[in-house]
Amino acid sequence: MVNMSRKPNANGWISTVEQMKAIASPVRHQIHLALEMLGPCSIRDLASRMSRQPATLYYHVNMMERAGVLVRYGVRDTGRHAETIYMLAEKRIRLDMTQRTPRFLDAVTRGFASLLRYAERTLATALKSETTTKTGKASELRIRQVNVRLTRNKLVELNRRLDDLQSYIDDADSPSAKSTYAITICLSVLP
């Protein structure tokens, strides 16, 4: 039986250096993704999902909790002991880019570098996998990088389409699906 004490806020912002640092490692990013997919769960549940030993996650979960990225959702009695259940404080990570301090911008850069390292690892795994569908309409592996010159109107339209894509992804997410896909998108102006 789980004693539930908190519900997530779907409109949260990452707005502090501590919060940004708390997700700036591939392991903590993976914890965030696992909680996003699984919902509230224990460190033991996370370890099982991530194919890790629970002891390797305590430091990371505690850091994320101290920064306010994770919250204690409740306690589950396992018979031998009580197990803390954690959940995301916010459903999605959205950066408050009005924060312009050098420390925050450095933390954002490090956080995104961590996300790219995770994307690199998932890409390498998919490339090596014999079961990944690499071509066709149901391809499970697509890589794109383009540089494009956009007018202000086209940039506004691109941002709208990226928002639509996020909405589509949110709506398409199905707990009954057999496979999970990693999608990483970065839009940035070139110097």
Altogether, the residues listed in the chain come to a count of 191
Tell me the CA end-to-end span of the chain in Å, nearest whole number: 55
pLDDT tens column, 87-130: 998 877 777 778 788 988 888 888 888 888 888 988 999 999 99
Q: How many CB atoms lie within 10 A of CB 83?
A: 16
Provide, rounded to the nearest whole percent, the portion of the chain with pLDDT above 90.
Answer: 47
Let me know: does 130 contact 35? Beta carbons within 8 Å: no
Helix axes 26-38, 102-128, angle to 10 degrees: 70
Q: What is the rounded distance in angstroms from the CA atom of residue 35 to the CA atom of residue 91?
A: 9
CA distance 138 to 45: 31
Residue whose token pair is 């956080």:
111
**Which residue has 């018979």 as its token pair?**
79
Could you please report the per-residue DSSP string of 164-177?
HHHHHHHHH--TT-
Could you give the domains of the chain? 2-88 (1.10.10.10)
| pTM beyond 0.85 | no
Mean pLDDT, residues 78-93: 87
Average pLDDT over every residue of 3-27:
68
Give residue 85's identity as a one-letter amino acid code: I
Q: Are 179 and 140 in contact (CB under 8 A)?
A: yes
Least confident of 34-38, 72-76, 96-100, 180-184: 96-100
| Token couple for 176 | 């009954």
Mean pLDDT of the chain: 87
